[in-house]
Structure formats: C-alpha cells, structure tokens
C-alpha cells in the first residue's frame, strides 16, 4: 500500500528509515502501510495518548489498524523517551509494531499463522542489522502500554495479530560542525 518514508533521516530516524524501507520492500505485504517513528499525541479526552505519525507536517495520522485504508495492517516504530549515551553512541529502546490482519496477508492457511509471521519479521529485522532484537511482545495491552487502546479492543482477536519486536537501536549525531 503506502510507505510513508518522506521524513528527514537524522538521529534515530536515520536507522528507522532504513529499517522501514527494507521491511516495506522485503516482507511482501501488498496491503500494509509502513510508517516511521510515531509521536505520543494527547488524545481528545486530554488524559491519554495515541500514537500518531507526521505524514505531512503539521498533519498527523493515527496509526492504529482500521481495516479500510490498509486492509492488511500497519507497521510503525515506537521509540522510548529515555535514551542513553555510551562511547559517543546513543542507544534507544525501540518497538517495531506490527498490527496485522492475518486473513488478508496469509489467506488459505488451515492454522493460525501468528508464529510464522513473527518469525518472518524477526529474521528480516535481524538481517537488516539496524536494531538488535531483545524480545517480542504480543497483545495490544503489552505493545501499547502507556497509550489509549480503547478504540482497538478487537485487534487482539483473530484474524488480527498485534505484536512488537523490541530491540536496541544505536546511532550517532554528526558533530563535525
């Protein structure tokens, strides 16, 4: 579907952009939208947050799976607010979030292919090498801890599968000026 990759490749976004483009090209998901790093945006209730992507600044786009615009799902990145610096490298904890409709991606299976899709995504992410995987989280409550999930309750049930591959992303800033 769409690969929203028109943003500056600076800092963590440089590695995220590489990862996003390879995932979009190599996973073979025809009807999935790919986004970069999402921002925590205050929800309309002024009490919680939703993940949104600046598709075209200042216009933001909510990235929760809706089934209409990208029937196969959405892939995007959540970067923790706290980053550390070790040996002039910044280390950020990152979640690569996959909100997928497995019926639209792997139709005709006689079994629930959640582990199969996780393995495919994990192997490709590991091969890209921009993020060092440290774990996998499943379910909307775990993946979206700290975000308002009231609109996406059904996405935790078949045929929907929400999971994240978590890891460490290392980057540097250009300090030669």
φ, ψ for residue 119, nearest 5 deg = -65, -45
Interacting residues of 49 by C-beta distance below 8 A, sequence separation 6+? 40, 41, 42, 43, 146, 147, 148
The CATH number covering residue 67 comes to: 3.30.70
Q: Is 73 strand, coil or helix?
A: strand
Nearest C-alpha neighbor of 43 from the set 65, 19, 62, 22: 62
- Domain span at 92: 12-171
7 domain residue, yes or no: no
156 domain residue, yes or no: yes
Q: Which pLDDT score is estimated for 128?
A: 98
User: Which one has a higher pLDDT value, 27 or 148?
Assistant: 27
pLDDT at 55 over 80: no
1 domain residue, yes or no: no
| Domains contained in the chain, number | 1
150 domain residue, yes or no: yes
149 domain residue, yes or no: yes
pLDDT in tens, 123-149: 999 999 999 999 999 989 999 999 988
136 domain residue, yes or no: yes
Sign (positive/negative) of CA torsion 129, 12, 31, 24?
Answer: negative
Query: Which tokens belong to 41?
Result: 């945006």
Confidence at 155, pLDDT banded by 50, 70, 90: low
71 domain residue, yes or no: yes
**Cα–Cα distance between 71 and 117 in angstroms, integer?**
16
Burial class of 65 by CB neighbour count within 10 A (0 to 12, 13 to 18, 19+): buried
Q: What is the mean pLDDT of the chain?
A: 89
pLDDT at 12 over 70: yes
pLDDT at 63 over 70: yes
Mean pLDDT of all residues in 95-124: 91
55 domain residue, yes or no: yes
**Number of residues assigned to the chain:** 177
């Amino acid at each position: 579907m769409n690969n929203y990759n028109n943003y500056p490749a600076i800092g963590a976004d440089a590695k995220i952009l590489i990862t996003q483009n390879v995932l979009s090209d190599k996973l073979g998901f025809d009807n999935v939208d790919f986004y970069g790093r999402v921002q925590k945006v205050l929800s309309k209730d002024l009490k919680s947050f939703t993940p949104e992507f600046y598709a075209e600044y200042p216009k933001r786009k909510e990235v929760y799976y809706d089934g209409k615009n990208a029937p196969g799902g959405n892939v995007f990145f959540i970067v923790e607010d706290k980053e550390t610096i070790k040996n002039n490298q910044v280390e950020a904890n990152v979640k690569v979030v996959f909100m997928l409709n497995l019926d639209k991606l792997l139709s005709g299976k006689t079994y629930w292919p959640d582990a199969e899709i996780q393995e495919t995504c994990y192997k490709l992410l590991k091969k890209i090498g921009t993020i060092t995987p440290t774990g996998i989280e499943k379910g909307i409550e775990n993946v979206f801890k700290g975000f308002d999930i009231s609109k996406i309750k059904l996405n935790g049930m078949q045929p929907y599968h929400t999971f994240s591959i978590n890891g460490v992303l290392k980057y540097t800033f250009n300090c030669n000026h």
